[in-house]
Amino acid sequence: MAEVNGSGVLKQAAPSETHSMPSRTGLSTIEEEPGHDDSMVGPIVPRAKKRRKLDNEQEYLHALPSADMYERSFMHRETVTHSAMAIQTEFLVTASTDGHIKFWKKRPQGIEFAKHFRAHVGPVKDLALSHDGSLLVSIAEDKSIKIFDVPNIDMMAMLRLSYLPACAAWIFKKGDSKSKLAVAERDSGRIHIYDVRSGSDEPLASFEVHRAPVVAMRYNAAHDSVVSLDQKGMIEYWSAGDYSFPEDSVDFRTKIDTDLYALPKAKAAPQSLDISSDGSQFSIWCSDRRARVFWYRTGKLRRVYDESVEAAAELQKSESATYRLDAIDFGRRIAMEKELIADPDAPHQNAIFDESGNFLLYSTVLGIKVVNLVTNRVCRILGKVENTERFLGLALYQGIPGTGGRTKRMGAGISPAESDPMLVACAYNRQRLYLFSRREPPDTDEVATGRDVFNEKPTLEDTGPGEGGEEKEAALVLPRGAVMHTTKGDITLKLFPEECPKTIENFSTHAKNGYYDGIIFHRVIKGFMVQTGDPLGDGTGGQSIWGGEFEDEFSRNLRHDRPFTVSMANAGPNSNGSQFFITTTAACPWLDNKHTVLGRVVKGADVVQMIEKAKTDRFDKPFEDIKIVNIDVKMSVD
């Protein structure tokens, strides 16, 4: 096995691998084969080893970003921690520490914002796309799993867990009868399999292939199997069908014949995992700041790249201008690197393959390296001049925008006008996602046209308190609309903050905090109303955001004079908590001045009627649970 320092220069190599390694000088050492003379007496001079070469290397590189600087950056409200690229559906998805998820659509040049979800109460811990790019899963420490329909940019389901999840992976291919999702427990080695389209929170299967908690899983579609890693560095293979060892897809029977014990031997903990598009190899980024590349079928190490602080310091002493930095700049970057290593909550970086599987991309102190795995050389470094950002997680797009992610293979002639390769990077302690392309950023100092887009409004903490009570005024801005995502469909509400500000503040805050997520419609009376908002699910629970109950807010302008009126449920005067109902009959005048009207249904009345028609027991509770997936609040309603 060969280990390479940060420059891609050979450090050492086992005899079996030496033939594929370049020389220490990095120069081509191909020599003519010496002629054989039968009359020669004595030992024969060994034949010079040829340096490996990647055919059509420039064409492969043309399909990758090449600009020295990032072209654009966009904002989240909090630190961006995850990014995922759905090539087939041409969507980028990003997540941040406040639990928010954003969808971005790939355009012929760059991306365009599509939709924003307040998915979780706390930080997003993992974000995973299905192999066909149709489904997205997000997990967090709130013990919930959110499932998104990517092409329709919609939240379609939610799972409530009895355990803290660590990571997740989709384990199905397009055309499979079940959309299976694997979720690992944070505090044990158990893995649970769910069918997200079944509507059940119960797993199809649960098993334990690891003795330590699993930290990463990836589906290998080419072999219909899964690679999983645990905290102790153990690497396991298991079938996506019956969850057993996939004997037919590998060339070994025991790990003794492989290098799959390399991480425990090095006392390195895995932090991220990626699998090449053809399934032939996988990469692991480890706690010892090394990127390791394995062959899937044999379990043998292909490459190890050392990006530790010590390796960076050694490179700084080299004479190569490619790897040298200004002394002050280098010192600043090393200080940030040490801070990153010491931060237990810092997002993990990754090492990803390009579409061909010939190149590995990962972030370093110097910038983002693009390494040719065949020649074992660093081909380019992106973002080296960006000395204030330490890039981390990466996501790569190499398709042709507008064709469903289709790419042209080598030899077909990729036109620069068609393809728009894009690399998306998160950065340490940054609220932005950074886009690298083949274009350098525009040369301008104007904020409105600069490369750093201010797509989020500054918070009060960003701007400080204003004059003359501006801080108080900002705090009273309330939403005027909401979209309630249910298991039966979406219901759009118009809210009335002027008439009932306290009620709207209570409702919208509960919605933002995920209080209503997963709550059932516990009371349904045909020809009258549908009721929800009780976390206990029996009509006896729920409280306001202030704890306990709050007063009624009646208005002469808001009456129960039409169907699809949204009102607060209560047990008497001034006993409002979290429960609310939607009427389905023409008029209910007996409810006036007894229940606060907070909104009207402006879209999705058919969904309300569908819920109203559900079969119920003698307590008016539907036999089949109908749930609120989540509620998105909006400042206006279309």
Which positions are catalytic? 523, 528, 531, 570, 581, 591, 595
CA distance 106 to 29: 43
> Residue 314 carries which side chain, given as an amino acid letter?
E
CA distance 627 to 523: 12
Q: Which residues contact 558 (CB under 8 A, 6 or more apart)?
A: 496, 499, 500, 597
CA distance 178 to 409: 31
β 270-275/281-286 pair status: antiparallel
The three-point CA angle 532-535-536 to 5° equals 100
CA distance 211 to 601: 51
CA distance 158 to 518: 7
CA distance 370 to 380: 5
Q: Which of these, 393, 392, 398, lies nearest to 354 by C-alpha position? A: 398
Q: How far does Cα 163 stand from its chain's mean position? A: 21
Q: Is 347 exposed, middle or buried (0-12, 13-18, 19+ CB in 10 A)?
A: buried
CA distance 216 to 210: 12
Q: Which residues contact 465 (CB under 8 A, 6 or more apart)?
A: 471
Taking CA atoms, 370 is separated from 25, 96, 217, 423, in Å, by 19, 26, 24, 11
